[in-house]
Amino acid sequence: MKSLKKWCLVALSLSLIVVLGACGKTGLGNSSGNGSKTVTKKDAKDLKLGVSISTTNNPYFVALKGGLEKKAKETKVSMKVADAQNDAARQVDDIQNFISQNVDAILVNPVDSDAVVPAIKAANNANIPVILMDRGSNGGKALTTVASDNVQAGKMAADYIVKELGEKAKTFELSGVPGASATVDRGNGFKKVAKTKLDILSSQSANFDRDKALNTTQNMIQSNKDVQVIFAQNDEMALGAAKAVKSAGLKNVMIVGIDGQPDAHESIKKGEMTATIAQQPAKMGDISIQAAIDHYKGKKVAKETISPIYLVTKDNVDQHKW
Asked if the model's pLDDT at residue 23 lies above 60, the reply is: no
10 in any annotated domain: no
Residue 86 and residue 49 in one domain: yes
- 321 Cβ contact list (under 8 Å, min separation 6): 262, 265
Asked if the model's pLDDT at residue 210 lies above 80, the reply is: yes
Please report which confidence band the pLDDT of residue 322 belongs to, taking 50, 70 and 90 as the band edges.
Answer: confident
Sign of the dihedral defined by the CA atoms of residues 110, 11, 94, 130, in that order: positive
81 in any annotated domain: yes
20 in any annotated domain: no
List, in sequence order, every residue forming a beta bridge with 200; answer none if it has no partner: 171
pLDDT reported for residue 17: 44
Residue 90 and residue 136 in one domain: yes
How is residue 318 annotated by DSSP?
G
What is the tens place of the pLDDT at every residue in 45-100? Answer: 999 999 999 999 999 999 999 999 999 999 999 999 999 999 999 999 999 999 99
Residue 180 and residue 90 in one domain: no
Please report which confidence band the pLDDT of residue 222 belongs to, taking 50, 70 and 90 as the band edges.
Answer: very high
pLDDT reported for residue 42: 97
Residue 169 and residue 253 in one domain: yes
232 in any annotated domain: yes
Residue 130 and residue 233 in one domain: no
Reported as type and span, the H/E element at residue 276 is strand 275-278
Asked if the model's pLDDT at residue 250 lies above 80, the reply is: yes
pLDDT reported for residue 37: 56
| Tally of domains in the chain | 2
- Contact of 213 with 236, CB cutoff 8 Å: yes
Residue 239, domain extent? 150-278
Residue 49 and residue 73 in one domain: yes
249 in any annotated domain: yes
- Contact of 51 with 123, CB cutoff 8 Å: no
Question: Could you give the CA distance from residue 108 to residue 81 in angstroms, rounded to a whole number?
Answer: 10
Please report which confidence band the pLDDT of residue 319 belongs to, taking 50, 70 and 90 as the band edges.
Answer: confident
Residue 89 and residue 120 in one domain: yes
Burial of 8 (0-12, 13-18, 19+ CB in 10 A): exposed
110 in any annotated domain: yes
What are the DSSP calls for 24-51, one per residue? ---S-S-SSSSS-S------GGG-EEEE
Residue 187 and residue 135 in one domain: no
Residue 224 and residue 262 in one domain: yes
What is the Cα 17 distance to its own chain's centre? 24
300 in any annotated domain: yes
Q: For 192, how many CA atoms within 13 A lie in the half-sphere containing its CB?
A: 15
Question: Could you give the CA distance from residue 181 to residue 287 in angstroms, rounded to a whole number?
Answer: 20
Residue 138 and residue 200 in one domain: no
pLDDT reported for residue 189: 98
What is the tens place of the pLDDT at every residue in 161-172? Answer: 999 999 999 999
Report the CATH number at residue 188.
3.40.50.2300
Average pLDDT over residues 241-256: 97
* Alpha helical stretches, state H, the chain: 2-20, 59-75, 88-100, 117-125, 150-165, 181-197, 210-223, 235-247, 262-270, 281-296
- 299 Cβ contact list (under 8 Å, min separation 6): none
Count of CB atoms situated within 10 Å of the CB of 303: 10
- Contact of 31 with 123, CB cutoff 8 Å: yes
Residue 271 and residue 207 in one domain: yes
Residue 297 and residue 217 in one domain: no
What is the tens place of the pLDDT at every residue in 180-199? Answer: 999 999 999 999 999 999 99
Question: Could you give the CA distance from residue 321 to residue 268 in angstroms, rounded to a whole number?
Answer: 13
138 in any annotated domain: yes
What is the Cα 131 distance to its own chain's centre? 13
